[in-house]
Amino acid sequence: MNILLVCAAGMSTSLLVNRMNDAAQEKGIEVHIEAHPVGSVTSYADQSDVILLGPQVRYELKKIQGMYPDKPVEVINMQDYGMMNGQKVLDHAIELLNK
């Protein structure tokens, strides 16, 4: 499973990537997670199974959903993002894939 996290600069989301990787390792799930700035979404989205946007770029949701209609694209829950809750964000990504 490949998960793309999209944010304003790709910096703050790096910590969330680490926490999600830790949660995946604890569950024995093989996953590849990357964080990139919203401006470079087209360079990475094709290889991803799920695209999650940081709350700070939620205004790009409709645009990115339109660009990738065959992929789940959603905004990360603001509270989970703020708390850097990698477990919940990972669970949400898995849930989106299983829809």
Cα dihedral value 30, 26, 95, 51, nearest 10? -60
Rounded distance between C-alpha atoms, residue 8 and residue 10, angstroms: 6
Residue 95 reports pLDDT greater than 80: yes
What CATH number is associated with residue 45? 3.40.50.2300
The pTM (predicted TM-score) of the whole model is 0.94
Structural domain range at position 53: 2-97
7 is catalytic: yes
Domain count for the chain: 1
Residue of 3, 4, 7, 50 marked catalytic: 7
Quote the DSSP letter at residue 9: S
Rounded to whole angstroms, the maximal C-alpha distance in the chain is 34
Q: What is the mean pLDDT of the chain?
A: 94
